[in-house]
Structure 1
Amino acid sequence: MAINTIDLFEVFLSVGYGASYGKFQYELSKKQRERDQKSIEREMKNKAKQNYYNLIYQLKRGGLIEEKEKNNKKFFIITKKGKGKLSFLKKQHKESLPEVSYSSEENNKFIIFIFDIPEKEKRKRDWLREVLKKLGLKMIQKSVWIGKTKIPKEFLDDLFKLKIIDYVEIFEITKAGSLKNLV
């Protein structure tokens, strides 16, 4: 209630003599919104600070970093265990596969998508099948898919980044013939 009284008093002094009730209410709500916004910002800043300290604590506890002091200044160094974990995470990130969500557009021509990805690239092959399914293509064989969908450029870019573009063939069929029975 003290905050409301302070806001009320400040607004009363700022709007001046003869201000309407509507103007008074507007200024009061504006003042309260400003106070609420500052409170939210302060809370978010404190939460970010606490997250930072929690992260540092977890890294120290895990033996990944050490705190050192030099010339009355604190700094962190990464330990041998930390360097190993960092290289593992970099490798894992490098090998991660892109998201499976691409926007698909209907096409009036048939697309035949054929691939022959080696067994050592099994994860990428499974990812590719999942993407083709999400794009709306139908499986004819495990490595032959067909549908009336435009292939997104982002998807082709990801095939290139994953270095599997050489194992893929994409055909566009203008005269369907017996393909109508398949789709």
Structure 2
Amino acid sequence: MKKQHKELLKISAKELLLSLFDLSVPFFQASSIYRKNANDYINERRLERSEFWDRVKYLRRMGYIQTFVDKNQKYLELTKKGKLRGELFKKEIKEIRHPIKWDGKFRLVIFDVPEKHKTERDLLRSKLKQLNFIQIQKSVYAHPFECTEAIGALTYNYNLSDYVSIFIADAILGEENIIDHFLDRKILSKKDLRALVNKN
């Protein structure tokens, strides 16, 4: 049980590191100091304080962050080791691979994540957008290529496997607009569409 708790703590601490210090945000790109007000973050995310500070203790013990007080406010600051680790985390799943031929189907990622996992849910949404999924509804995203393994690994890393499902759809209402979306972003090509027409 202790081992399982430790593994869950590692996962949640990793999510906290990524959400606290999003290295893609212009502020962080332009600054040599990666700093966040702890109370502001807790209030923004409506987090359980004891759980939050457990994660912080783990990250501090690993040497990824340091804490300090300034004008009665507690801050978290990313260390050089933490910055490198955060960049490695963000590189874990870079893209959904383009198959030789598109099968004409769509992969739907559908999730219903409880509010207590808001941080992880926001990270999942952000990652799906990075992977060029299109948002169809609030918690429904689509992609034309096989991605079961990648999404499975992603949801496992975020400890959200119980809340996420993947479906394969032969057709989607309004798919012409969805196809145009992927064509505009060069995820699909005219060649993919021609191959699909020839197949049919």
**Which structure shows the bigger proportion of residues in strand conformation?**
1
TM-score bucket of the superposed structures, by smaller chain: 0.3 to 0.5
Tell me: higher relative CO, structure 1 or 2? Use CA pairs within 8 A at least 6 residues apart.
2
**TM-score, structure 2 normalization:** 0.40
